[in-house]
Amino acid sequence: MPQPTRKRPPLDPQLRHNRNVAIICAATFFGMVGAAYAAVPIYRAFCQATGYGGTVRRAEAAPDKQLAQQVTVSFDTNVRGVPWTFVPEQRSQTMKIGETKIAIFKATNNADHAITARALFNVAPDSAGTYFRKLQCFCFSDTTIGPHQTVEMPVLYFIDPKYAEDINTKEVTDVTLSYTFFPASDAKPGFGA
């Protein structure tokens, strides 16, 4: 004999409302967590594409022209969490806009073991970061220095000639390129990569 099918009683409207609110809250929570993880690479890509916040853009080739206008680029060096001595060979360089220059930095590992670190960088004032370009830089990857070893690290760079046309930079004659070395595991690839 077939069993009679029982109908489920309808959900209480309050219970249905509570369930829907819980689903919406869970979806919002997971959406916010996903957005938080996506924010760093999206912000990094935005800064590298626009030079926002003094982020230097990587270049494939030097410009074809140089301008008579000159800019003095000063170098600032720092270390955080690594027992290194890190200094520029020159404290500043005066250059023509569009001219390619090379700056040499020296780092010495003062520890009894090899250390791997990454340099993060910034340009001040922020508006100059839009036009500061690097062709070659130690900051593009991790740097490992052996115990008590000193290494020279070059940076090949130029300032885009459009710098002289921008109302925010055309009167700016002093720019600072700043590097900070962090342990490689702590360095966030956001601004140095």
Q: What is the pLDDT of residue 32?
A: 82
Question: What is the structure's pLDDT at 185?
Answer: 74
Residue 160 to residues 44, 59, 69, 92, 119, Cα–Cα distance (Å): 21, 10, 12, 18, 23
Report the number of distinct structural domains present in the chain. 1
Query: Does some domain include residue 3?
Result: no
pLDDT computed for residue 186 by the predictor: 53
Per-residue pLDDT in tens (0 to 9) along the chain, 193 residues? 666 666 666 667 788 888 888 889 888 888 887 777 665 555 555 555 554 544 455 556 667 788 999 999 999 999 999 999 999 999 999 999 999 999 999 999 999 999 999 998 899 998 998 899 998 888 888 999 999 999 999 999 999 999 999 999 989 999 999 999 999 875 444 444 3
- Name the residue with tokens 């938080």: 36
| Residue 18 located in a structural domain | no
What is the domain range of residue 162?
52-187
Residues 6 or more apart in contact with residue 190 via CB below 8 angstroms: 40, 43, 44, 47, 120
**Do the strands 174-183 and 70-79 form a parallel or antiparallel pair, or are they unpaired?**
parallel
What CATH number corresponds to the domain at position 76?
2.60.370.10
